[in-house]
Chain A
């Protein structure tokens, strides 16, 4: 078994803290966090431009967006008082593994100052600390007042943009829903198992253009879990292991209105990173489990992971190659579009990928797949995370 040695592989190189004899600080929230980060970077002789890893006990996506960082290592473990020791542990492992070069973690809490500010009329009540940077969550200020329906409105904006830039059509998006439903007909646990046509998708009620009802994922109950162990120990267990061959992550915004370019996701970073670590090319992939919250979501993965050129996702999907018998199977469980979508669907990508590699998928089983990719999408096309899994044959 090959391992990466963490010992001696990483170090803490900059620190900062702040407190006052009055017990209160003037800054709070994000502004205070930003000040601490700048001081610690200064202490290290680094700048924010060097940072490619962000840890926060709240949302590392919101912090990174505020700072203007697009991290490829992201960490939001929340274990109370020990959270920051855990961040050190995870960051060390990440740095040792080459997942990040410069990682920051920050904490700011100002209960005394918050109380004083609230007393001066600055807060919604006298006790509760303000939720964000001493003010409201920016989504309430800058997105919600437009009347947008979330999350689907965010994906609709991406779809409109993709159509305008690349000529992608509603029919091409609909084909993704049709191919995915074909797989669901072979999953006895799927919410919907009746085949559908492109016309069915296009004649389903428009939600927020260009997304029809059948372009959107389900809202269902669902649950899943996985267990990991060392490659060595895995050999002696009950089932054939699915080896983690490569991983990669990146987020480049939190809110859709802050996304650098709505037709291109951070999968262009996470995908090549994971494929590079695994030593594979897109053409080596036997199965893509690509997060399909909406048809446009899956289309963007096809392009951004390199299975087709940017802008070619529509024509790529249009011939039905994603469905049963096609040359590029995607979402063989029926996906978030037809199998299940309880809100955070990424678990189901991994479960199906492992079952396909083991050969446990019954009627929908692929012929001897060796490499499966689970590609998760979190937030509003914000955080992309790619996992390459392989059978024992891929280790040699």
Chain B
């Protein structure tokens, strides 16, 4: 789903600030690419991005392109705050576990809220930010319902 598929004009989301360690992650989102930081010594993902690997403290870190696939680890439907995508009504905040390991806080879109289920398969979709970056969100693996 691209931003032009959305009924809204643009996101109302708070734009995530960029830390030095995470700059490559956000830069890649300009092309709708999802990167995962990787510790080459431990051979495992690092998230959130850091200057060092949590666990070994090594700096032998690199970036890998993620598949964009993940599963729903947990979620909550927020009835109090405005939907950051600009839509009306309650919206879903989720922890999504990427196939590559990281667990991200994000939004799940593209399905009725009462069909959310822990463990369901998801894929990345993008919310366009004003500065050209995109915020990674998730939708059902087979596409919006």
Contact = CB atoms under 8 A, between A and B. Distances in A.
Given A206-B79, A207-B79, A209-B79, A145 B135 contact: yes
A188 interface: no
Given A147-B81, A160-B76, A206-B79, A30 B51 contact: yes
Contacts of B48: 138, 141-142, 258
Contacts of A153: 76, 78, 93
B21 A144 contact: no
Interface string A25-38: 00100110010011
B57 A146 contact: no
B13 A262 contact: no
A257 B50 contact: no
Contacts of B93: 146-148, 153, 157, 208
Contacts of A47: 56-57
B55 A48 contact: yes
B49 to A, nearest CB: 9
B54 interface: yes
B9 interface: no
Nearest to A155: B76
A27 B119 CA distance: 41
A148 B56 CA distance: 31
Nearest to B103: A257
A157 B76 contact: yes
Interface in B80-106: 80-84, 91, 93-95, 103-106
Interface in B92-145: 93-95, 103-107, 117-119, 135
A207 B51 contact: no
B1 interface: no
Interface in B28-72: 48, 50-57
Contacts of A205: 79
Interface in A206-226: 206-211
A149 B83 CA distance: 11
Contacts of A147: 13-14, 78, 81-84, 91, 93, 107
Interface SS of chain A? helix
Interface residues of A, number: 50
Contacts of A208: 76-80, 93
A145 B19 contact: no
A47 B51 CA distance: 18
Contacts of A148: 76, 78, 81, 93, 105
A146 B73 CA distance: 15
A140 B91 contact: no
Interface in A125-176: 132-136, 138, 140-149, 153, 156-158, 160-161, 164-165
Interface in A10-60: 27, 30-31, 34, 37-38, 41, 47-49
A71 B51 CA distance: 21
Interface string B12-23: 011111111110
30 contacts: A31-B21, A31-B51, A34-B52, A48-B57, A67-B57, A133-B50, A135-B22, A136-B17, A136-B18, A138-B19, A141-B19, A145-B14, A145-B84, A146-B107, A148-B76, A148-B105, A149-B80, A156-B76, A157-B76, A160-B75, A161-B74, A164-B74, A206-B77, A206-B79, A207-B80, A208-B76, A209-B77, A257-B103, A262-B73, A262-B95
Interface of A: 27, 30-31, 34, 37-38, 41, 47-49, 65-69, 132-136, 138, 140-149, 153, 156-158, 160-161, 164-165, 205-211, 256-258, 262
Closest 8 CB pairs of A and B: A135-B19, A68-B54, A164-B118, A31-B51, A156-B76, A136-B17, A161-B74, A68-B55
